[in-house]
Amino acid sequence: MADGGGVALAGPSMVFLSVGGRRLEVAWHGPGPDAAPTLVFLHEGLGCVGMWKEFPRRLAEATGCGALVYSRAGYGCSDPCDLPRPLHYMQDEGLHTLPQVLAAAGVRDCVLVGHSDGGSIALVYAGGTEAAPLRGVITEAAHVFCEDLSVRSIAAAREAYLRGSLREGLARYHGDNVDCAFWGWNDVWLDPGFRHWNLEEYLPGVRVPLLALQGKEDEYGTSAQVEAIAGQVGGSAEVVMLSDCGHAPHRDQPETTLAAMTRFVTAVLGGEGA
């Protein structure tokens, strides 16, 4: 990691980037961006660097790429953010914050790997910016519109946070940011105005190859999400629906997910990363 160019790193290294006046927690795996293409991991609505666990390292090793994993503001060990978040927070992340992260990290050539909210942010970036260093996009359980199933499951998460053990579990990853992380996500998705949220306008602008994965038992979204994504992007698209899999393919079906992503990245980069 470097402010101007990349620095090759032998192993994972926890550092911070200054982006938009806030410090963001970052972990690197494998070669820096001056030595190989970079896999950029974008976490889910309640995620952070730590919640990806070993998956970024494994995908980096399988493809020969570097991996940049970061926590958005308000998550993990990053600086907190202001609440309430705006209903268009994912658009803001994709159009404004992510380009700054890539520039600050010195990323020259990348494939985005986005889970849930992170997948939605990846689609906004790919379809709504010039996306100069982008070679491909991988989404897991991304959303491009709000569904009744999503709202019901997010309302259930609210009850689990208030009356169950969810807050305690999340606090192990987010520390003092736990309330910021949860309410910043939950309040937006349960806002009546969020029923009209829609990202489909960005899809025709996604002209790089796309791999969209989703679990058949995803409790936060139906197959209508990946059907809309694959049917409207401006480039090639592959959909993988996974059996016995919920909202997080890299956790629920790690080996199948790793194999699918490795094949996609290798094809997109034409062997450059290996």
From first to last of the 274 residues of the chain, give the pLDDT tens digit.
233 333 223 345 568 999 999 999 999 999 999 999 999 999 999 999 999 999 999 999 999 999 999 999 999 999 999 999 999 999 999 999 999 999 999 999 999 999 999 999 999 999 999 878 899 999 999 999 999 999 999 999 999 999 999 999 999 999 999 999 999 999 999 999 999 999 999 999 999 999 999 999 999 999 999 999 999 999 999 999 999 999 999 999 999 999 999 999 999 999 565 5
Query: How far is residue 82's CA from residue 267's CA, in Å, rounded to a whole number?
Result: 40
User: How would you classify the pairing of strands 110-115 and 134-140?
Assistant: parallel
Q: Shortest CA distance to 272 belongs to which of 97, 108, 118? A: 108
pTM (two decimals): 0.94
113 DSSP β-pair partners: 41, 138
17 close to 1: Cβ distance less than 8 angstroms? yes
> Options 3.40.50.1820, 3.40.50.970, 3.40.30.10, 3.40.50.10260; which CATH number does 13-269 get?
3.40.50.1820
Question: Is 190 strand, coil or helix?
Answer: coil
